[in-house]
Copies of this chain bind each other. A is one copy, B any other.
Amino acid sequence: MTGEVEVILVGDELLKGDRRDAHLQFIGALVRTIGARITQAHMVPDNRAVIAATVKARIRKDRAIVVSGGLGPTHDDITREAVADGIGVSLEFREDQWKWIVGVFKGFSKTPHESNKRQAYFPAGSDVIPNDHGTAPGFMVEKGGCLIAVLPGPPRELRPMMESAVLDRLKSMFGREPLFAETYRTTGIGESDMTPKVELLFGHFEKEFTISSLPHIGGVDVVLTARARGDMKKQKKRAGEFEDGLREILGTHVFGTGTRDFPAVIGDLLAKRGETLAVAESLTGGLIGKSLTDAPGSSDYLLADVVAYSNESKVEFLGVKKKSLKDHGAVSDVVCREMAAGIRARTGATYGISTTGIAGPDGGTKDKPVGLTYFGLASDDGEKIMHRVFPGDRTTVRERVAYAVLNLLYRKLTR
């Protein structure tokens, strides 16, 4: 049996558009490591009756419910009361927990507010989950064979509590053997182009695995999940056969497996080859550098990234010719070429890449519309410059050209 986890996220801010949830992805990936899965998730407002009714409705034997948010000291933090209502018990004051809270405040040379006292109340029968990063302890309580784990909302508090106390409890509840799953990441191909090519292959594996395609900005992720627990070694072998088939059909469109990002995979390729990279950005404004340096160890191959936003800085830092800027403008094949070649020459990197264009929403003209972008690669073989008019808003245009120039480099590294 696969462990069944439901998630209830409490907070007006998630429903009002103020905040984007990050817990669900974290919890989903975490419970997957022990072969459990989130079967449903519910986002509810800071409303005692609604929270209580939702908890009550979702209680099932052999299920775990993770509730997050609303454990703070203020009057709109009512999750404690609501969960107690939902399982039909009262709250109890825990002197030991109050002492602990006073101690935390003392550590910051402060004394707790009277309102913090609320954080020492728990539904009867709860096991307290210590919180090393805040003043709100969590708790776990059982009802009808269902485990209800209640955790504070801030990620830096919830995450360690999930990873230790809650995960341990889930392991003893569900067992610890994960379902086999693997993700194959592709680039430079859309879902509609991929689907007919891989249909036959997918058909051969559908009895053993669920196969889903998830489009992202530069390609498609193909996710394989075993339909049932079984001989893990055998499943891995079959998945390997699937991967071979996929790579045979799609070639280097398949850039990697797992959760490793495209920029990190490019970094791995550079590190393996002992080569280096330097970046010259205009419209992307640091996005490429940021995405490359998200990966630990990127200082091994990334030498520098110059965001030359003004014309003067293109001249000063990249050696772009004033005449080129004057004759062709900053958004041109010529300037993009000089940027790529310039950053490469200045840093001595194996490869130089560059972007220039009009991200919008303003700055477009009839000849050079919003979305027009040039992106280039300089190497020992000279420069290769491409251009595209990308649709979408400012963010999308910037993301697309960042992906496109990295793809240009990727193709160079894999062909």
Closest Cβ–Cβ distance, residue A136 to chain B (whole Å): 11
Q: How far is the CA of A293 from the CA of B398 in the complex (A)?
A: 10
- Distance, CA A94 to CA B281, complexed state (A): 49
- Asked whether A304 lies within 8 Å of B317 as measured between CB atoms, the reply is yes
A173 part of interface (Cβ distance < 8 Å):
no
A392 to chain B, nearest CB (A): 7
Q: Is A303 in the interface zone, CB < 8 Å from B?
A: yes
Contact check: which of B12, B195, B286, B346 meets A287 at CB < 8 Å?
B286
Q: How large is the interface on A (under 10, 10 to 19, 20 to 34, 35 or more residues)?
A: 35 or more
Complex: how many Å from CA A331 to CA B346? 23
Q: Are A24 and B32 in contact (CB under 8 A)?
A: no
Each complex incorporates copies of this chain amounting to 2
- Name the interface residues of A1-47: CB closer than 8 Å to any CB of B: 12-22, 24-30, 32, 37-46
Q: Among the listed B22, B40, B225, B285, which residue makes an inter-chain contact with A43, where contact means beta carbons less than 8 Å apart?
A: B40
* Residue of chain B at shortest CB distance from A330: B299
Q: Does A292 sit at the interface, judged by CB under 8 A?
A: yes
Asked if A307 is an interface residue, CB under 8 A from chain B, the answer is yes
Residues facing B in A283-335 (CB within 8 A) are 283-294, 296-299, 302-310, 312-313, 316-317
Give the distance in Å from the alpha carbon of A196 to the alpha carbon of B303 in the complex: 47
Cα distance A361–B362 in the bound complex, in angstroms: 40
Contact of A25 among B19, B212, B348 (CB under 8 A): B19
Beta-carbon contact of A296 and B27 below 8 Å? no
CA of A279 to CA of B44, assembled, Å: 42
CA distance A305 to B290 in the complex (A): 12
Of all chain B residues, the one with the shortest Cβ separation from A47 is B39
Q: Scan A218-258; emit 1 where CB is below 8 A from any B CB, else 0.
A: 00010101000000000000000000000000000000000
Chain B residues within an 8 Å CB radius of A196 = 113
Closest to A135 in B: B192
Cα-based distance from A347 to B3 in the complex (angstroms): 58
A215 within 8 A of B: yes
B213/A74 in contact, CB under 8 A: yes
Q: Roughly how many angstroms separate A367 CA and B32 CA in the complex, as a whole number?
A: 38
A290→B296 contact, CB < 8 A: no
Say if the beta carbon of A360 comes within 8 Å of chain B.
yes
Q: Which residues of B contact A40 (CB under 8 A)?
A: 15, 42-45, 50, 54
Do residues A41 and B15 form an inter-chain contact, with CB atoms below 8 A?
yes
A396 to chain B, nearest CB (A): 7
Question: Chain B residues near A74 (CB, 8 Å)?
Answer: 195, 213
**A395: nearest chain-B partner, CB-CB:** B294
Within 327-370 of A, Cβ neighbours of B (below 8 Å) are at 346-348, 359-362
Nearest B residue (CB) for A40? B44
Q: Is the CB of B361 within 8 A of A296?
A: yes
- Cβ A297 vs Cβ B362 within 8 A: yes
Q: Is the CB of B293 within 8 A of A303?
A: no
Residues on B with beta carbons closer than 8 Å to the beta carbon of A293? 283-287, 307, 309, 398
Q: A98-140: which have CB < 8 Å to B?
A: 110, 113, 135
Q: Within the assembled complex, what's the spacing in Å between the Cα atoms of A296 and B363?
A: 10
A413 interface hit (Cβ, 8 Å): no
Contacts of A294 in B (CB 8 A): 285, 394-395
Distance to closest chain B CB from A63 (angstroms): 14
* A152: min CB distance to chain B, Å: 11
A-B residue pairs in contact (CB < 8 Å), sample of 10? A12-B212, A16-B32, A17-B28, A20-B24, A20-B25, A46-B212, A284-B290, A302-B310, A303-B310, A304-B316
Per CB-CB distance, the 8 closest pairs between chain A and chain B, nearest first, are A286-B289, A285-B293, A17-B29, A17-B28, A286-B286, A304-B313, A305-B307, A286-B290
